[in-house]
Homo-oligomer: A and B are copies of this chain.
Amino acid sequence: MPTYKAPARDARFIINEVLRIEQYADLPGFDAATPDLVETVLDEAGKFAAEVWAPLNLPGDQEGCTRHPDGSVTAPTGFKDAYQQYVEAGWGTLGMPAEFGGQGLPHVLGFAVEEFLCAANQSLAMYPGLTSGAVSALLTKGSAEQQALYLPKMVSGEWTGTMNLTEPQCGTDLGLIRTRAVPQMDGSYAITGTKIFISAGEHDLSENIIHLVLAKTPDAPDSTKGISLFVVPKILVNPDGSLGARNAVSCGSIEHKMGIHGNATCVMNYDGATGYMVGEENKGLAAMFIMMNAARLGVGIQGVAQADVAYQNGVSYAAERRQGRALTGPAEPGEKADPLFVHPDVRRMLMDAKAFTEGARALALWCGLLVDLSHLAATEEERQAADDLLGLLTPVIKGYGTDKGYDVATAMQQIWGGHGYIAENGMEQFVRDARIAMIYEGANGVQAMDLVGRKLPAHMGRAIQTFFAVVDRECSDARGDNRLADVAAKLEKANGELKAATMWFMQNGMANPNNAGAGAHHYMHIMGIVSLGLMWLRMARTAAAALDAGSGDAAYYQAKLTTARFFAERYAPDAGALRRKIEGGAEAVMALPLEAFATA
């Protein structure tokens, strides 16, 4: 059975030492987030994730969820209790608004805890996983009455939230939605339609489930401009907050999936269910995107999380399993064989995983800080810059983070050889669970188009120019330190490739938008490399300073410098290759007619 230990020290390094969130102590919420509190929260949350949630991961995969004839759904054995403990400990309330009972701590801290929980048990983490996004949507667009009615119990975790977009004929293209919302005399709406792939759509963990549902009112335009958002509770809530009648929404079936077996992925049938409009009519998509953007960051974190737990188990197997001899001569001559750890190709995979996981963790936590700063920073200019960078990086952490998270999980399974293919060893579960993150909340191709088609050109490229300036400045600052100079130089080169690719899109995307589309995925990956490179430069710089200051834990900081070097040597070169692929353009990509793809 695989094991998990939360990387609390590493998260603390990023939050306290690299991002130095103490410097924001004058912002609301940050005042409470002292280095000591950060350490305590990370340690305790890490223990909880490892001790309470992780042991249920493999059994939950094997048992799966059960839908009963009455439409009720039971999560795997132990999930309900483990969720209850999570609610009681308040792990879900860290970043939630204080006015509705949350702890109001910075998102950057909440993101770290979210990673631990996802790594320990992704299926279980997905039950409350969409609640915070639903809370954000209601906070921003809901009426005061809706907020008062739903938010306190959603914040506490007594109720969970879901996101209902997809229908059988409609995934990415939300203009195709058919679910109807018919206004009723009392101001509510009767919601009728079928939603599919609803994560945690029905389960036994919480006493109520608050569905946020996209639907069309009778006279709505037949496009994405005709979509409204509704809150549809599983059990209707009386004005005094008590539970009322069962609403006409039910789970028609649960899906058989490649992975995340412990989470109930539901077909939800709305049969004239009572719903209440959130925000303005026909402006539902904008409201849903508040939730979607939060969810995309969460999915990016899942990519990091699955990579990390797979990495930990790759390391332990490499340390224990003996097979063959070091190329440089027996490392442990007294044993019949050396541990796998001596083999450079195994070490290459472990270093690759380490470089990704720690780098992507830093990126995710930086994004968490940007969420905070985009709302709380003192000046409009700072808030704007944070929001620009966050918008730019969201598709990167989601798209690149989950593509690469899956690759890392696959590589860690590879270290286990044939034993990695055996279900009981748990490595293959990490791969299957990691796979979904590339698909949901906007498939990674959609992320790439969001990045290239929407985020790049917005405000005349303001966000990407900000990003370039940050990278250039930090590279320039690092040049004088010989421990950092090579990392900075290779990052600068990769950033140059990103600039060249951006320029190429500007010059060729107008003439033919397919030129942008055919290179978007490659561009997202260059951006991922440069973003992680920036994180590695920051971490290396922090580590160098800590070594200079004679901080304890020198081996820890030295490892950061070595891993930064590895990243520069083994990740950065891909940026140039990706740029050249982009410059190939759309011609050969789009030239062939459908018939040419038919097997003959």
Contacts and interface: CB of A to CB of B under 8 A. Distances in A.
A150 to B, nearest CB: 27
A592 B410 CA distance: 22
A422 B589 contact: no
A421 B448 contact: no
A319 B435 contact: no
Given A171-B417, A581-B573, A565 B588 contact: yes
Interface string A346-386: 11111100100000000000000000000000000000000
Interface in A422-461: 422-424, 428, 431-432, 435-436, 438-440, 443-445, 448-449, 453
Contacts of A558: 596
A599 B312 contact: yes
Given A341-B594, A418-B166, A439-B418, A566 B581 contact: no
Contacts of A576: 573, 576-577
Interface stretch (A89-97, A208-216, A277-285, A511-519): A511-519
A549 interface: no
A600 interface: yes
Interface string A284-326: 0000000000000000000000001000100100010011100
A417 B435 contact: no
Copies held by the complex: 2
A449 B175 CA distance: 52
B421 A599 contact: no
Interface string A317-346: 001001110011000000011000101111
Nearest to A518: B344
A88 interface: no
Contacts of A597: 315, 319, 350, 354
Contacts of A422: 255-258
A470 to B, nearest CB: 25
A483 interface: no
A246 interface: no
A240 interface: no
Interface stretch (A4-12, A69-77, A135-143): A4-12
A225 interface: no
Contact of A173 (B337, B413, B521): B337
Contact of A600 (B9, B347, B516, B588): B9
A420 interface: yes
Nearest to A12: B600
A414 interface: yes
Interface in A578-600: 578, 580-581, 584, 586, 588-600
Interface residues of A, number: 108
A558 to B, nearest CB: 8
A439 B414 contact: yes
Given A256-B423, A573-B580, A597-B315, A172 B590 contact: no
Interface string A156-177: 0000000000100111110110
A559 interface: yes
Interface string A86-128: 0000000000000000000000000000000000000000000
Contacts of A453: 327
Contacts of A598: 315
A197 interface: yes
A422 B449 CA distance: 25
A63 interface: no
B588 A566 contact: yes
B595 A555 contact: yes
Contacts of A347: 518, 589-590
A574 interface: yes
Contacts of A449: 345
Q: Which of A6, A573, A599, A600 counts the most B-chain CB atoms under 10 A from its CB?
A: A599
A569 interface: yes
A589 B577 contact: no
Given A7-B599, A418-B439, A424 B256 contact: yes
A379 to B, nearest CB: 37
Contacts of A588: 351, 562-563, 565-566, 569-570
Contacts of A586: 344
Nearest to A260: B421
A173 B555 contact: no
A520 interface: yes
B10 A345 contact: no
A592 B170 CA distance: 49
B592 A559 contact: yes
A185 to B, nearest CB: 32
B512 A328 contact: yes
Given A315-B598, A569-B581, A258 B431 contact: yes
9 contacts: A5-B599, A176-B337, A256-B424, A257-B421, A319-B597, A421-B439, A563-B588, A570-B588, A574-B574
Given A327-B517, A345-B518, A555-B593, 11 more contacts: A7-B599, A10-B600, A176-B323, A255-B421, A256-B424, A257-B421, A308-B599, A319-B597, A344-B520, A345-B445, A421-B435
